[in-house]
C-alpha cells in the first residue's frame, strides 16, 4: 500500500507484510545512515499473485516506521485478509535470520488481536528451518520451504475453495492437531519474464525508500528516491558462509531477460524519478550475454543512473568495464572476504590471491567505477594474524567503501550445518545474527572466541575509516562533506553485549 489511508475493512485475498526493526538491527546507524530498502521480492510475489487473479496488497512496516503493535492494530482495524504472508528475506544475501525477530513478534501481535487470521512465513530463514520455525512460532499456521509464490497461491486457493486438499499444496508445512506435517517439494519458477515480469511498485510507498550512504557519495544529500531490482535469482556458487540458495535449492540460477529488466528501469525512472538503483542479485557480473545486453539497453537510454551491483574478483572482465560505466553502474561490490588463500579455500575463492585482488580493484577504479570491498573476520581457519592480514589488505586496497563482517553461521549455510554438528555455540536469539545489533554473536574459530572476533571487527572498522589515506582519497574523489559524513559515522560507537 502506498499510504496508510486504506479503505475501512478492505477485503483482500493475500496481504504481504514486510517487517523489520531498523533501530534493533542497526542501533543508532538505523536513524539516518542505513538504507530503507524496497521489499522487491515481496513486490514480485504480489505480481505473481495478481497474474493468478488473486487480490493482494503489501504493508511495508519499516517504510512507515511501524512497530509490531502498530501493524497488528492497522491490519485488524482496516483490512480483512484471508491469508497474511511474511516473506522473511534479507536485503543482503544472508540477512534473513535477523528479520525473524520482528516477524515473530508481529505474528503474535496479529493473533492476539484476531486469532482467526491465517499466517504464513516464507523466506530464507523459514526455508532453512521449517520444522523449527513451526515449533517455535505458535502464531504461524503455515511455513513454505521453497521460494514462495506457488505455495502462497496454492494455499490461498485452498482457503478460498475449502474443497481442495492441503496435500496438493507444494512445499508447505502445516499443523494437523498437535502434529506438524509437510507436503512434497514444489518446483522453482522457470519463466520469470512471464510469471513475475516486474515488481508491483504501485503497491509500495516509493517516496519512502532511501539509498545507502556510500551509494550516494557523489551526491550525499540526495539519497532519495531509491529502489532495488533483481535481474536474476539464486547463485551458482556455494560459499560456506552464505545461505542464499536455501529457498531455491540447486541448481537455482535463473535470469530475467534484458528486455524485461529495462522495462522495470523505465518504470522506475519515468514514473518514480528513481536514479539510485541497487541490483540485488547475489552475483550480477557473471553471465556475459546477460550483463552486456542490459548494459547496451541502458547506454541507449542515457538515463545518468547511479547503480550498484555485486561481482567477484574472477567474474570482472576487462571487456565489461567500459560498458558497465556507460550504463550507469557506478559501484561494484566485491566479495574479497579474506587476505588468506587458506581461509578463502572454504569459500570457493581460494584460487585468487592478494596480487589478483588488488589488480582487479585497480582496473575497476581506472574505469571510473567505485569499489566496495567486503571482508569477513572469524572464518573457521582465521587466527588473529590472518584477520590482521585481511585488515591490512583492506587498508592497502583502499576501496571507496568497505564492509566488515563477522562470520555468522546463518541457518541454511554450510557454516550452520558444521556448527550444529560440532555443538558450537550459536546466537541465543535471531536478532543476535545481525552484524550491527547489541546482541550480535558471531562464530568462534579454532583459535578465537566470539567476543575476540567481534571486538576485532569493530576495531577494524574504526581503523579503516579513520585512516588518513582513506580520508584523503574520499576528499579527492568526492568532497570534504563526504569526509565529514564518514567522521560522523565513526563517532557512533556500537554497543555490544559480548564485550
Domain ranges of the chain: 10-182, 215-407+442-490
For the segment 398-409, the average pLDDT, to the nearest whole number, is 95
pTM recorded for the entire structure: 0.93
* pLDDT tens by residue, 442-486: 999 988 999 999 999 999 999 999 999 999 999 999 999 999 999
Q: Is the pLDDT of residue 350 over 60?
A: no
For the segment 360-387, the average pLDDT, to the nearest whole number, is 96
The C-alpha atoms of residue 468 and residue 456 are separated, in whole angstroms, by 20
Choose the weakest-confidence range: 55-69, 162-176, 336-350: 336-350
The CATH architecture one would assign to domain 10-182 is 3-Layer(aba) Sandwich (3.40)
* pLDDT tens by residue, 13-28: 999 999 976 555 555 5
Q: Is the pLDDT of residue 345 over 60?
A: no
**pLDDT for 94:** 60
Q: Domain 215-407+442-490 classified CATH 3.30.365.10?
A: no
* pLDDT tens by residue, 458-468: 999 999 999 99
The percentage of residues in the chain with a pLDDT greater than 70, rounded to a whole number, is 92
* pLDDT tens by residue, 236-255: 777 777 777 677 766 678 99
For the segment 185-209, the average pLDDT, to the nearest whole number, is 95
* pLDDT tens by residue, 101-126: 999 999 999 999 999 999 999 999 99
- Confidence label for 66 from pLDDT (cuts 50, 70 and 90): very high
Highest mean pLDDT, choosing among 14-28, 226-240, 256-270: 256-270
Amino acid at each position: 500500500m502506498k499510504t496508510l489511508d486504506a479503505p475501512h475493512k478492505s477485503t483482500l485475498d493475500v496481504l504481504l507484510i514486510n517487517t523489520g526493526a531498523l533501530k534493533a538491527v542497526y542501533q543508532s546507524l538505523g536513524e539516518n545512515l542505513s538504507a530503507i530498502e524496497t521489499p522487491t521480492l515481496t513486490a514480485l510475489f504480489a505480481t505473481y499473485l495478481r497474474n493468478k487473479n488473486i487480490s493482494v496488497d503489501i504493508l511495508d512496516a519499516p517504510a512507515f516506521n511501524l512497530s509490531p503493535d502498530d501493524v497488528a492494530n492497522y491490519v485488524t482495524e482496516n483490512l480483512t485478509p484471508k491469508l497474511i504472508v511474511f516473506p522473511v528475506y534479507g536485503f543482503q544475501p544472508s540477512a534473513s535470520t535477523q528479520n525473524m525477530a520482528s516477524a515473530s513478534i508481529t505474528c503474535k501481535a496479529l493473533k492476539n488481536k484476531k486469532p482467526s487470521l491465517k499466517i504464513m512465513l516464507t523466506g530464507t530463514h523459514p526455508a532453512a528451518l521449517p520444522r523449527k520455525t513451526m515449533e517455535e512460532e505458535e502464531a504461524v499456521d503455515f511455513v513454505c520451504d521453497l521460494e514462495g509464490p506457488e505455495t502462497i497461491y496454492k494455499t490461498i486457493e485452498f482457503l478460498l475453495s475449502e474443497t481442495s486438499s492441503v496435500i496438493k499444496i507444494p512445499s508447505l508445512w502445516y499443523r494437523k492437531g498437535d502434529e506438524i506435517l509437510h507436503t512434497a517439494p514444489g518446483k522453482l519458477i522457470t519463466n520469470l519474464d512471464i510469471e513475475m515480469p516486474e515488481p508491483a511498485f504501485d503497491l509500495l510507498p516509493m517516496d519512502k525508500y532511501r539509498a545507502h550512504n556510500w551509494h550516494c557519495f557523489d551526491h550525499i544529500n540526495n539519497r532519495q528516491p531509491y529502489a532495488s531490482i533483481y535481474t536474476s535469482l539464486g547463485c551458482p556458487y556455494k560459499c560456506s558462509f552464505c545461505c542464499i540458495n536455501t529457498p531455491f535449492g540447486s541448481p537455482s540460477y535463473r535470469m530475467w531477460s534484458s528486455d524485461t529488466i529495462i522495462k522495470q528501469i523505465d518504470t522506475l525512472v519515468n514514473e518514480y524519478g528513481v536514479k539510485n538503483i541497487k541490483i540485488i542479485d547475489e552475483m550480477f557480473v557473471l553471465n556475459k550475454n546477460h550483463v552486456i545486453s542490459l548494459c547496451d539497453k541502458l547506454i541507449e537510454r542515457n538515463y545518468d543512473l547511479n547503480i550498484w551491483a555485486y561481482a567477484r574478483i574472477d567474474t570482472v572482465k576487462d571487456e565489461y568495464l567500459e560498458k558497465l560505466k556507460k550504463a550507469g553502474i557506478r559501484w561494484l561490490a566485491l566479495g574479497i572476504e579474506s587476505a588468506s588463500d587458506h581461509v578463502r579455500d572454504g569459500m570457493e575463492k581460494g584460487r585468487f590471491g592478494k596480487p589478483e585482488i588488488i589488480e582487479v580493484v585497480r582496473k575497476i577504479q581506472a574505469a571510473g567505477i567505485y569499489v566496495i570491498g567486503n571482508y569477513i573476520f572469524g572464518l573457521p581457519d582465521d587466527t588473529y594474524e590472518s584477520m590482521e592480514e585481511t585488515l591490512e589488505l583492506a587498508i592497502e586496497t583502499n576501496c571507496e567503501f568497505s564492509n566488515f563482517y563477522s562470520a555468522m553461521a546463518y541457518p541454511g549455510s554450510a557454516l550452520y550445518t558444521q556448527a550444529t554438528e560440532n555443538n558450537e555455540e550459536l546466537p541465543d536469539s535471531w536478532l543476535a545474527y545481525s552484524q550491527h545489533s547489541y546482541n550480535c554473536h558471531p562464530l568462534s574459530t579454532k583459535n578465537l572466541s566470539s567476543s575476540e572476533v567481534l571486538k576485532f571487527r569493530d576495531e577494524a572498522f574504526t581503523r579503516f575509516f579513520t585512516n588518513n589515506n582513506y580520508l584523503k582519497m574520499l576528499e579527492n574523489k568526492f568532497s570534504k562533506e563526504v569526509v565529514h559524513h564518514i567522521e560522523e559515522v565513526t563517532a557512533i560507537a556500537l554497543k555490544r553485549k559480548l564485550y
